[in-house]
Structure 1
Amino acid sequence: MSISNSAESRTTVLFLCTGNSCRSQIAEGWARHLRADVIEPYSAGIEKHGLNHYAVRVMAEAGVDISGQHSKLVEELPVTTFDYVITLCGHAHETCPYFPGRTIHQGFPDPPEMVKAATSEEEILHAYRTVRDQIRQFVESLPDALPQ
C-alpha cells in the first residue's frame, strides 16, 4: 500500500487499531459525522475483533450511528492509498504494516481494558464516553492538525 497526496479531493485517513472494534470505529464515525467535507475516513485493524457494542451505544448517545460499520482488516478496505494512517493504540503502532509517508500515532486509552474492574454499567459507560469525547476532540482538529 502507498500513500497518495491528492490536492483535489478530501484527505483520505485510515484510523488503525489492533482489533478495529472500538477506538478506530469511533474515530471513523466521528470523521464521517463531523469532517466528511474534508476527510474520507476509513478504519481497520491488525486483527478483527468485531464491533464493540458499547462503542455503538455511546456514539448513538452522541447522535452518531456506527451500527452499520464492521470490524475489518486493512486488506479488506476498498482503497489502497491514504494521505494519512493514524494508529490509535500502542499495539497497532508497534505492529502497523508498512505505509510509506505519513503514518502518525495518536494513542487513546483502551475502553475494554479500562473497564476490566468495573462494578457497574455506569462505570463502563463513563470510560467509553470519556474516550469517545477524547477522540472527538482529536477528529475535530483534522486535517489541520496533521503534519504536512
Structure 2
Amino acid sequence: MTLPVRRRPGRLLERPGFGWGEPIAAEFEDLFERMSRLLEGPATAPTALAWSPAADMRETDDAYVIEAELPGIKRDDIEMSERELRITGEYKEREREGVLRRSTRRTGWFEYQAPLPADVKADEVNASLHEGVLTVTVPKAQAAKPRHIEITES
C-alpha cells in the first residue's frame, strides 16, 4: 500500500512517517545551528565566536584545581594566562572524505575563564593534559591556606 503525498503551496513534503525531505531538513539544520550559537552564552568582542569547554573548579587546602575537557586537542594548541585563569585554543576541523551527514562536534575557538583570588602563587601554576582532560593546579599563597587553631579549656 502506498501512502499519499501531501503537498502544500511552495513546500514539498515527503510521505508522512518516512522522514523529512531535503528542503525541510536543511531548514531545521540551519535553525538548530543558529539556536546553538545563541545559547552558547554572552560573548565579548574579541572572542565573539568562542565557546567554553566543560570544566570543574575545586578548592583544596593547598590549591585551586581546574579540570577542563579538551579531547583531541594538542598541548601546543592551548594558551593560558595568569591572574585570571584563561584557557584558550582552537579545535580545527578535520579533513574528511565523502559527504558529512551529521556532526555534533564543536570546532573553532574555545575559551574558559575563571577569576583567581589575589592570594595565589602565579609563578608556580602547573598544568597537564592527560586523556583529553586538562588539569591546572594553582597553588595558594601561604596566607591563604586555612590555619587550624586548637582551642584549649581553661
TM-score, normalised via structure 1 length: 0.22
Q: Relative CO higher for 1 or 2, CA cutoff 8 Å, sep ≥ 6?
A: 1
So what's the TM-score if we normalise by structure 2? 0.21
Structure with a larger share of its residues in helix: 1
Q: Greater share of strand residues, 1 or 2?
A: 2
Larger Rg: 2
